[in-house]
Amino acid sequence: MTNPLLSHWDTPFEIAPFDTISDEDFAPALDEALAAHKAQIEAIAGNPDAPTFANVIEALETPCRPLEQVLSVFYAVAGADSNPKREELQRAFSPKLAAHFSAITANKALYARVKAVWDQRDDLDLTEEQQRVLMLTHRGFVRGGAALEGADDARMQEIKGRLATLGTEFTQNLLADERDWYMELSEEDLEGLPDFAVAAARSAGEEKGANGPVVTTSRSIITPFLKFSPRRDLREKAFQAWAARGANGGKTDNRAIATEILKLREERAKLLGYENFAAYKLETEMAKTPDAVRGLLMDVWGPAKARADEDAMVLTQMMQAEGINGDLEPWDWHYYSEKRRKIEHDLDEAELKPYLQLEKMIEASFACANRLFGLEFKPLDIPLYHTDCRAWEVTRKGEHVAVFIGDYFARGSKRSGAWCSAMRSQAKFPEQQTPIVINVCNFAKGDPALLSYDDARTLFHEFGHALHQMLSDVTYESISGTSVARDFVELPSQLYEHWLEVPEVLSEFATHAETGEAMPKEMLDKVLGAATYDMGFQTVEYVASALVDLAFHDGDAPADPMAKQAEVLAEIGMPQAITMRHATPHFAHVFSGDGYSSGYYSYMWSEVMDADAFAAFEEAGGAFDAERAKALEEHILSSGGSKDPAELYTAFRGRLPGVDALLKGRGLAAK
462 among known catalytic residues: yes
Coil vs helix vs strand at 71 = helix
SS percent in the chain: helix, strand, coil, step 5: 60, 5, 30
Distance from C-alpha of 549 to C-alpha of 589, rounded to nearest angstrom: 10
Q: Which amino acid is at 636?
A: I
For the four alpha carbons of 274, 280, 284 and 287, in that order, the dihedral sign comes to negative
Distance from C-alpha of 666 to C-alpha of 539, rounded to nearest angstrom: 9
- 80, 130 Cβ separation under 8 angstroms: no
Looking only at the bridges linking them, the beta strands covering 390-396 and 399-409 are: antiparallel
Distance from C-alpha of 70 to C-alpha of 100, rounded to nearest angstrom: 15
Cα dihedral 338, 344, 348, 351 in deg (nearest 10): -170
Q: Torsions phi, psi of 443, nearest 5?
A: -85, 155
Sequence length of the chain is: 671
Q: Torsions phi, psi of 44, nearest 5?
A: -70, -45
Catalytic residue among 285, 338, 462, 490: 462
Q: For residue 596, what are the CA distances in angstroms to 137, 542, 551, 592? A: 21, 14, 14, 9
Cβ neighbours for 261, distance < 8 A, ≥ 6 positions apart: 163, 166, 167, 170, 591
* Angle, alpha carbons 427-589-196 (nearest 5°): 100
* Angle, alpha carbons 275-278-283 (nearest 5°): 90
Whether omega for the bond prior to residue 448 falls within 30 degrees of 0, making it cis, is yes
What is the DSSP track for 91-110? HHHHHHHHHHHHHHHT-HHH
Distance from C-alpha of 616 to C-alpha of 635, rounded to nearest angstrom: 14
Q: Which positions are annotated as active-site residues?
A: 462
